[in-house]
Amino acid sequence: MKSDNFRGYFFAIIGTLAFSNEYLFSKAALNEIHLAQFGLYWFFISTVAMLLYMMFQKKLVSVKRLTANQWKILGLLGVLEILTATFFYLSIYIIPDPAVTSFLGNMYPLMLAFGGIVILGERFGPMEAAGAVLAIAGTFIISYTGETSLKGMFIPGTGIVFINALFATVASLVVKVHVKNTDPGLMNLNRSVWLLLFSLIMFLVYRQPLLIPMHALKNIVIGALLGPFLAILAIYTSFKYIEASRSSVVQSLKGIFVLGGAWLLFGTLPLPHQLLGGFITVAGVLFISLGNKQFMGKWSRQPEAKPR
């Protein structure tokens, strides 16, 4: 059990670090090229990387053993991932500071924690409730513009992040339920292939040029290997060993890493109230984790009595 917990948190941390860099490199690339061009290159690279990984691990043979139900699940995941990725990269494109996007993205671990509790039967208590209130309050502070009208109350892109978080939660819960029976690498390859096909359609619809600046290509290569390949693979794998809500808590810390990276790469920092709200959301999601009795029991467990 302890070994499973260590593996789960290890993969969640690796996924969070890689995912943090995805915010930065995707934003850098989207500052130079159209979203349709970005998607084509981004998911072509991630698909090739996943194919090579599956071939190296000799896991492609598992495709032949998939049941009809597993094919349906992969198809459902493909549609959910298209919706999730579309709103995710659209939010990065719209919101100027990737750190703000990342902090707003803590709506996802909050929703995932609730989903894990309601659908998967994971535990929830008073401390988790307090954490949920903090996370919601922090999200409101980040997105609030100071306007009183509903139309101008939140910064542009807030609704898109919310929709992204909703679809990401549904996709993650589907993965969590079925990851025991389906290889995480195969799920990630399935995701990349669906997104590549969708990106190709969008590329043809918008009729964008195939050639892109070399600097944008460099950012795409680095980001695609860190994000769609390494981050998603690590997070999917973490679901095999720990609860979805626990993995989501580790992922909530990505905003702190993105904050430093955004300052170094773009010279941007969130406004003071957005920074405050960001740390409140992180604290809220951490409260959700610390309130879990099973999590706390790991630290307060009494030593076992020695046999006589």
Kindly list the domain boundaries of the chain, sorted by start residue.
Answer: 2-294
Q: Which of 110, 137, 114 is nearest to 249 (CA)?
A: 110
HSE-up of residue 58 (Cα within 13 Å, Cβ side):
0
Q: Which of 225, 287, 234, 285 is nearest to 103 (CA)?
A: 285
Residue 154 β-bridge partners: 144
Q: Are the CB atoms for 76 and 174 separated by under 8 Å?
A: yes
Per-residue pLDDT of the chain (308 residues; tens, 9 = 90+): 567 778 888 888 888 888 888 888 999 999 999 999 999 999 999 999 999 999 998 888 888 888 888 899 899 999 999 999 999 999 998 988 888 888 888 788 778 777 776 776 665 567 777 877 887 788 788 887 777 666 667 788 889 999 999 998 888 888 777 766 778 888 889 999 999 999 999 999 999 999 999 999 999 999 999 888 888 888 888 877 877 667 766 777 777 778 877 887 778 778 888 888 888 888 887 776 666 544 444 434 444 434 33
Q: Which of 92, 74, 26, 51 is nearest to 227 (CA)?
A: 26
| Helix, strand or coil, per DSSP, at residue 119 | coil
Q: Are the CB atoms for 214 and 58 separated by under 8 Å?
A: no
Q: Which two tokens stand for residue 278?
A: 């960001």
How many residues in the chain?
Answer: 308
pLDDT of residue 237: 84
**CA dist 243 to 62, 116, 249, 282, Å?**
25, 8, 10, 18
pLDDT of residue 304: 41
**CA dist 150 to 127, 147, 167, 174, Å?**
31, 8, 24, 34
pLDDT of residue 215: 94
HSE-up of residue 292 (Cα within 13 Å, Cβ side):
23
Q: The pTM is what? A: 0.77
Q: Are the CB atoms for 145 and 40 separated by under 8 Å?
A: no
